[in-house]
Amino acid sequence: QINEAEVVAFSVPSYACQRRIALDHHNTVLADALSLLAENAELSDEDGRGVAFRRAAAVLKALPRQVTSMAQLKGLPCLGGHSLRVIKDVLDNGASDEVESTKRSERYKALKVLTGIFGVGAKTAARWISEGIHTLQQLQASGHTLNRAQQAGLEHYDDLNQPVTKAEADAIGEIVEKAVVSVLPGAQVTLTGGFRRGKLAGHDVDFLITHPEEGREEGLMPKVVSWLVKQGFLLYQKTTRNSYLESKDGPAQPPSNIDRFERCFSIFKLEKQATKQAEMPEDSCSFGAHRQVEGDDTCLQTDPQSCSLSPIQTGGLCRRASSEEGQLEETEPAGHKPWRAVRVDLVVSPVSQFAFALLGWTGSKLFERELRRWAGYEKAMSLSSHALYDNNQGRYLRAASEEEIFAHLGLEYIPPSERNA
Ligand code: TTP
Ligand code: MN
Ligand code: MN
Ligand code: MN
């Protein structure tokens, strides 16, 4: 029996960028429930609701202990009525009806399948669903013309929906490093995104490239990309050039949040040989259903969403039992090729903007959003991944490190491993 008067309520600061949020925390079940509703809102093109659930989840991730009663949540920021109902449901019943029915809903499942195609966003998926397209076969049968990204996405669907491991990220890092120094000696490559925050798996690998001499990085991306193409490392790439300096609002205006670096969205062809040296867990399938059949390393998953193993861990033979994926595998037996497709993002930044780019590309997405919100509302500053503009002083604030940016913003420095909001 809990005496409400004796319960000590938790306390956390309002902005996620004021909190230290490690990958491991004490409220996974609650945060996962809210994150699923956030994901569903984002997939439904309701970004406002998505952010609200993400913020609520980030509050729970920051708590020093597991939540056991609603009274502990009194006075916490970012917990709206809807999030509180979900939390109460989980505390009372072990699960939230809304979350469980969302997971089971045809619409959510179709949105997941269709946006699982690289190049397909929430809007495109919604349009297809309104035409009755819920599966990859239905999409293929519909005769819709797909753009180049979507064609690549469909072709490498299974690989790209298999989490990228840290070992694979490191193997790709070595290739990128080699490409970059071959075309511009002295240039530097930094791993960003989730892997810089310490994640052990991700949906892609993100790299930031610069050169210590300002200006030397200009035009670097096309050279890196053609080196990679020539060596046969790219299955797909789309490069966009730097539009920061020539953009209409120009550097004299507060920078917008839109990133204008030279960047490349790509799909790498990673030889399985390249990660063979790395230690792989014997059996780390989270579902526990990953097991071997005599003489055949086949994963007998029945729920394709629950196998977290990469093809490398399964020897490439994880035959996921989803009907649509099953059919795709008949045309392309993913398990019998000596390589896998991996999404890679490359960004080139001039060294004068490097700290801002590093901060902006390390994430998490909510952490980034909260940093910009803090800058604008609390400090009258505009933060982008290019610069920090002080509206009161009417000037840009320089920074050579992330620490300096946090200092300009009046925030305690939060290391990458604690930006997992
Ligand atoms: P993602 O690669 O989408 O996410 P992630 O690396 O945190 O997680 P995952 O393991 O699923 O890959 O984005 C990485 C960071 O890059 C994130 O903070 C958002 C940021 N970013 C963009 O994605 N696009 C942009 O235009 C800018 C400026 C930043
Ligand atoms: Mn703790
Ligand atoms: Mn990433
Ligand atoms: Mn990315």
pLDDT for 244 = 67
* End-to-end alpha carbon distance in the chain: 33
Identify the residue whose C-alpha is closest to ligand 1 atom 14: 193
Q: Please give the angle made by the CA atoms of 117, 273 and 325, to the nearest 5 degrees.
A: 25
Mean pLDDT of 48-71: 98
Identify the residue whose C-alpha is closest to ligand 1 atom 18: 363
Top-confidence residue, 286 or 39: 39
- Could you give the C-alpha distances from 314 to 73, 146, 225, 320, in angstroms and in order? 42, 31, 30, 11
Q: Name the closest ligand to CA 66.
A: 2
Comma-separated ranges of CATH 1.10.150.20 domains in the chain: 105-155
> Does residue 390 have an active-site annotation?
no
Mean pLDDT of 132-153: 98
Strand bridging mode 388-390 / 339-348: unpaired
CB 420 within 8 A of CB 23: yes
Mean pLDDT of 18-36: 98
pLDDT-above-70 percentage for the chain: 81
What are 247-299's pLDDT values in tens digits? 544 444 444 445 678 999 999 999 998 886 554 444 444 433 333 333 333 33
pLDDT for 274 = 81
Q: Which two three-digit tokens encode residue 130?
A: 């309104």
Q: Please give the angle made by the CA atoms of 105, 106 and 107, to the nearest 5 degrees.
A: 90
53: Cβ contacts below 8 Å, ≥ 6 apart: 34, 35, 37, 38, 41, 82, 83
Question: What's the 94 CA to ligand 1 centre distance in angstroms?
Answer: 32
Comma-separated ranges of CATH 3.30.460.10 domains in the chain: 158-421
Query: Which strands, in side-by-side order, build the sheet including 339-348?
Result: 188-191, 205-210, 339-348, 262-271, 234-240
What are 314-358's pLDDT values in tens digits? 333 333 433 344 444 445 555 589 999 999 999 999 999 999 999
3-state helix, strand, coil in the chain (%, to 5): 45, 15, 40
Q: Check pocket membership of 193 for ligand 1, CB cut-off 6 A.
A: yes
Comma-separated ranges of CATH 1.10.150.110 domains in the chain: 4-102
Mean pLDDT of 93-100: 98
Q: Topology of 158-421 in CATH?
A: Beta Polymerase; domain 2 (3.30.460)
Q: Name the closest ligand to CA 64.
A: 2
**Is the torsion defined by CA of 408, 413, 415, 419 positive or negative?**
negative
CATH ID of 4-102, from 1.10.150.110, 2.170.120.12, 2.140.10.30, 3.90.1150.10: 1.10.150.110
- Say yes or no to pLDDT of 79 above 60: yes
CB 407 within 8 A of CB 356: no
Q: Which two three-digit tokens encode residue 128?
A: 């297809």
pLDDT for 300 = 38
Band the pLDDT of 207: cuts 50, 70, 90: very high
> Does residue 206 have an active-site annotation?
yes
What CATH number has the domain spanning 105-155? 1.10.150.20
- Say yes or no to pLDDT of 162 above 50: yes
Mean pLDDT of 204-216: 98
Q: Check pocket membership of 361 for ligand 1, CB cut-off 6 A.
A: yes
Could you give the CA distance from residue 198 to residue 376 in angstroms, rounded to a whole number? 28
pTM: 0.85
Q: Check pocket membership of 194 for ligand 1, CB cut-off 6 A.
A: yes
